[in-house]
Chains A and B, each alone.
Chain A
Amino acid sequence: MAQRGIREYDGKRILAQNWEEYFNGEFEYDFKSILITPETDLDKIPEQYPWVKETPLVAKPDMLFGKRGKLGLIFFKKEKPGDVTWEDVKEWIKQKMAEEVEINGVKGHLTHFLVEPFVPHKPEDEYYVAITTGEDEDIIYMSAFGGIDIEENWDKVVEVKVPITASDEEIKKLIEENVPAEIKDKEKFADFVYRLYKLFRDLHFSYLEINPLVIVGNKIYPLDFVGRVDDTAQFVAGRKWGDLEFPAGFGRDLTPEEKYIKEMDEKSGASLKLTILNPEGRIWTLVAGGGASVVYADTVADLGYVEELSNYGEYSGNPSRTETREYVKTVFDLMTRGKHPKGHKVLIIGGAIANFTDVAKTFEGIIDAMKEYADKLREIGVKIYVRRGGPNYEIGLKKIKEAAEELGLPIEVYGPETHMTEIVRKAIKEIEEKEKAA
């Protein structure tokens, strides 16, 4: 999967856990952050973290989306900044967890929150540092004008390109030479950024942003932290990451069916993916392979029927017969919940020419599911289109054709002599004709 967003909490935890090694002696960081989840017993928090009763607090959702300040989702004041108590935070979190919110046009629920001490500081102490990855270099951004308006102040941000093959001396020099003039203690700031960059590199971050970054003497306050790491580096940096989870971004809550497939996918060595796009649609797909699944979805859209596309998904990596059957049953269950007012539905069983996957074997799971759902499939009216190639495809195609015909399900099957997406065109034609007839 490669680059994955991590929670602000985890970013700061990783900083704290590796502080000794990267910032030893030069800088101090008093890591005080609590991650609140739906499983957290809020009443036990003061026992574990007595400081919540002793200091004003800040609370905010920790779910990978940004602009929380502008969305009004940073709770740091009732009447004036710094007057929020633990009791207030508790109430606020409970309330926010209960209500549905809309973020960037997506509706869903807030589940994870970060609670920290409120750090009073002057706006002029808000610095900005971010590091990202380019092609042959990493790019460090530094500014003396951090904070919520960083984008408006982007012209004051200094950009330093650090070749990924650069030596420590070269890195140091590049940073020192480019520290923005407005920063008060340039030497200290450069030293901090250098150390942060080393950590960024060693721990395989692909993005890291601290904004605002408050530095008071030797004390570092990363008031906000955004990070992405390269999850494939688990075997290199996993020990330094500690117990790190990669949450899905804030989004629509999964349907029970999507959740079921996701759980199956996590347990399986094979890949099983399902997203419901429009449960009322007429075009349903069962496609083998990641690339092919995109091509089938593309083609439905390119032929003008995207609003009828019911699902997106794929199965690959040699799923077992049982896994295939369960996957297909889940799709059948969704597509047979009701008749479509305009007539027939179509099912596209597609795939490219497999390299080594035994097509006959994978079709067995599909046939199992077809048998179980035959009555329902007949009842709502489904026409099946199959296209597949690869080892034993002739046997696979023959078996699925015979099974469908025996069950009284209309079916058309094609092999590699027919273009992969040709069945999409045929299926859409079928829909148009059935619609006309109805």
Chain B
Amino acid sequence: MSKPDYLLFDRNTKAIFWNLNRNAIQRMLDYDYVVGREPSIVAIVAPTQSRKFEKFFYGINEIMIPIYRSTTDAAKDFPEADVLINFASFRTAYDVTVEALDIPTIRTIAITAEGIPERFARLMRIKARELGKWIIGPATVGGIAPGAFRIANTGGTIENIINSKLHRPGSVGLVTRSGGLFNELSNVIARNANGIAEGIAIGGDRYPGSDFLDHMLRFEKNPQVKMMVMLGEVGGELEYRVAEAIKDGKITKPVIAWCIGTISKYFGGEVQFGHAGAKAGAERETADAKNAALAEAGAYVPKSFNDLPELINGVYEELHSRGEIPDIKEPEVPPVPEDYDKARKAGKVRRPTNFICTISDDRGEEATYCGVPISEVVEKGYSIADVIGLLWFKKKFPQWASNFIDMVIKVVADHGPAVSGAHNTKVTARAGKDLMSSIVTGILTIGPRFGGAIDGAAKYFKMAKEKGMDPVEFVDYMKKVEKIPIPGIGHRIKSVKNPDKRVELLKNYAKENFPKTELLDYALEVEKVTTSKKENLILNVDGTIGVLLVDMFRELGYSDSEIDELINAGAFNAFFVLGRTIGFIGHYLDEKRLDMPLYRHPFDDILYDVKRPEGA
């Protein structure tokens, strides 16, 4: 804070950055690295961010910059920061500025937003003036103090910064209106003089927080500045203040000035040239009138923009030859490590990936399901089963398969509140838990004993048929070798005489619509054997679904081993999980509606058989 008044920025300047704009912040830190100073941004203000800090690069290393909810809080922790880079939108930039003006430790505020209402712009600059503070902008890229501090994006890419010698101080003070030509002028000055000492773009608005003259008076006091360049514009009267100051001897250093928009005299009010602020209301506000006044006051004014470089060079050479401008020893510039993303795009680096995805893609204009844009899925009337086809199996199911999947999901969606999954869901919901916890308890119940028969039926029937076991042989094998009941066979109440209507529907559908139903036919032969032993040992709904899924995949072109892979991966079970989740959600919502109290199992439903261990 020991810097002289005429300097807004030096190599120790610390700034608070309002808005988590990663690009702009990184660019400032890259600049800091290149000019060999420590990171200039000490805190970020982002009221809607929940994070406490953000990581950035400083050279090849990463640093953490804390994030605050308000500028006041950030300033409390970092009283050494006297600059606020206000990157808020036009809606909030005014409020942010007003808050910052009230913070004693903040002296300079740079405002980027375009479109701040003029009344707000006028109010905030009055306040800044009363407090003796500086506002740069609004509607500007900001400015730069070469070798010391860069405001946000000023100067463009690092390559351009070095080409235009914005990484080390020169001897020219530069003021422009908008940022668009700031780079161009920095480049001209680097080529025709020795670069700029400090440059400010005051912004294109009608009421800039600080104007040409304010900064040029600082430049006048700054011994590093030996000459000044001002790029004015048609419209407004700010340039006259500079002319007056030159006349009055308040500015004694050479000033090279040019106001753009000389063209407007030829087309009057008919054509709007440049931005809206650049409209001459009166003869006095034309570029020609201002150029003439500046020349009369003693500024160097070229005949046209095209002659500007020559004029700058002339003034520079004269000062240089008189020894007023010393030679500059060019500093070493460390290269900024290239960003991985950029280098990859340019084909300069490569890296093996950690993940692969073959089913969906969210990188383009619109996310796709296996290459099909979601909008097309909707427009073409894809069913849920078709979406399952795309995302689970990377297939466009034929209509017969789609309809079958649709039936399967409908059939397995629920089986009443008593089955263990639904029961768990209800008990958990009654314990006051949320949707996810409740349905997850239901889903976690799904396994070999609950809902697992689809997988099991598919697996064993398929194996038996492949091995060429006849039905009797298979029934025997299950009993003697596997020592388990055949999965998919048997029902609590349904029997041959009282068939399960769901099974009938599935069978009939498959018979009518599947190209072939080989495994179903085999299973039905097995059923004949089992029902001959006991009436209710029918092929149940799980068994039917299991064998029909095998038939379906076979007709979709899957080989036997591919189908085994699907079963082992749980793909068959997945149909049950998906379908039954519909039911679990139903039970959960039902409980929420009913608002039943916490469930406690009755004592008389539990056999208590608790014995004290020996020796205890």
Contact = CB atoms under 8 A, between A and B. Distances in A.
B126 interface: yes
Nearest to A293: B274
A301 B266 contact: yes
Instruction: Bin the interface of chain A by size.
Output: 35 or more
Contact of A295 (B119, B126, B267, B305): B305
Contacts of A252: 270
A425 B260 CA distance: 17
A247 to B, nearest CB: 14
Given A298-B304, A356-B156, A232 B118 contact: yes
A325 interface: no
A24 interface: no
A114 B262 CA distance: 37
A73 interface: no
A353 B287 contact: no
A2 B274 contact: no
Contacts of A356: 153, 156-157
B274 A355 contact: no
A272 to B, nearest CB: 14
Interface in A368-424: 389-391, 416-417, 419-422, 424
Contact of A355 (B156, B188, B287, B304): B156
A353 to B, nearest CB: 4
A84 to B, nearest CB: 32
B183 A294 contact: no
B263 A298 contact: yes
Contact of B306 (A165, A292, A299): A299
B331 to A, nearest CB: 21
Given A133-B118, A297-B273, A298-B305, A292 B184 contact: yes
B180 A290 contact: yes
A352 to B, nearest CB: 4
Interface string B149-174: 00001011101100110000000000
Contact of B178 (A290, A421, A425): A290
B117 A292 contact: no
A123 interface: no
Nearest to B259: A298
Contact of A301 (B117, B181, B263, B270): B263
Contact of B270 (A230, A251, A419, A421): A251
Given A204-B119, A230-B118, A353 B156 contact: yes
B206 interface: yes
A164 B206 CA distance: 16
Contacts of B271: 275, 277, 312
Interface in A16-36: none
A291 interface: yes
A352 B180 contact: yes
A164 B305 contact: no
B313 to A, nearest CB: 11
Given A164-B122, A302-B303, A416 B178 contact: no
Interface string B394-437: 00000000000000000000000000000000000000000000
Nearest to B231: A291
A301 B262 contact: yes
A297 B273 CA distance: 9
B522 interface: no
A303 interface: yes
Interface in B479-533: none
Interface in A188-215: 201, 204, 206
Nearest to A134: B122
Nearest to A163: B126
Given A233-B117, A424-B306, A2 B126 contact: no
Given A298-B287, A390-B156, A2 B305 contact: no
B274 A353 contact: no
Contacts of B91: 235
Contacts of A391: 156-157, 159
B156 to A, nearest CB: 4
A interface majority secondary structure? mixed
Contacts of B157: 355-356, 390-391
A201 B123 CA distance: 12
A164 B306 contact: no
A38 to B, nearest CB: 23
A280 B90 CA distance: 42
B205 interface: yes
A2 B276 contact: yes
Contacts of A389: 160, 183-184, 187
B83 to A, nearest CB: 21
A101 interface: no
Contacts of A294: 233-234, 260-261, 263, 273-274, 278
Interface string B178-195: 111101100110010000
B349 to A, nearest CB: 18
A216 interface: no
A97 interface: no
Given A291-B181, A295-B181, A389-B160, A419 B118 contact: no
Contacts of B270: 106, 251-252
Contact of B266 (A306, A355, A425): A306
A166 to B, nearest CB: 11
B254 interface: no
B148 interface: no
Nearest to B91: A235
Contact of A352 (B141, B181, B261): B181
A353 B160 contact: yes
Nearest to B160: A353
Interface in B228-260: 233-234, 260
Contact of A230 (B117, B160, B178, B266): B117
A334 interface: no
B179 A355 contact: yes
Contacts of A293: 273-274
Contact of A420 (B119, B164, B184, B233): B184
Most chain-B Cβ atoms within 10 A of its Cβ — which of A106, A232, A417? Answer: A232
A325 B43 CA distance: 43
B329 to A, nearest CB: 23
A236 interface: yes
A289 B179 CA distance: 10
B273 A312 contact: yes
Contacts of A302: 262, 303-306
A1 B114 CA distance: 10
B262 A355 contact: no
Contacts of B274: 290-291, 293-294
B178 A277 contact: no
B118 A299 contact: no
A295 B260 contact: yes
A135 interface: yes
B351 interface: no
Interface in B53-95: 90-91
Given A298-B305, A302-B305, A312-B271, A232 B116 contact: yes
Interface in A329-370: 352-356
A299 B305 contact: yes
B345 to A, nearest CB: 10
Given A299-B304, A421-B305, 9 more contacts: A3-B118, A164-B119, A235-B91, A275-B272, A289-B180, A292-B180, A298-B305, A353-B184, A389-B183
Return the 4 tightest CB-CB contacts between A and B, nearest first: A302-B304, A291-B180, A233-B117, A352-B184
29 contacts: A1-B276, A2-B118, A2-B206, A2-B277, A136-B126, A165-B123, A230-B118, A232-B90, A232-B115, A289-B181, A291-B274, A294-B274, A295-B260, A297-B263, A299-B306, A302-B303, A303-B304, A303-B306, A353-B184, A353-B187, A354-B183, A355-B183, A356-B153, A389-B184, A390-B157, A391-B157, A391-B159, A419-B306, A421-B305
Interface of A: 1-3, 106, 133, 135-136, 164-165, 201, 204, 206, 230, 232-233, 235-236, 249, 251-252, 275, 277, 289-295, 297-303, 306, 312, 316, 352-356, 389-391, 416-417, 419-422, 424-425
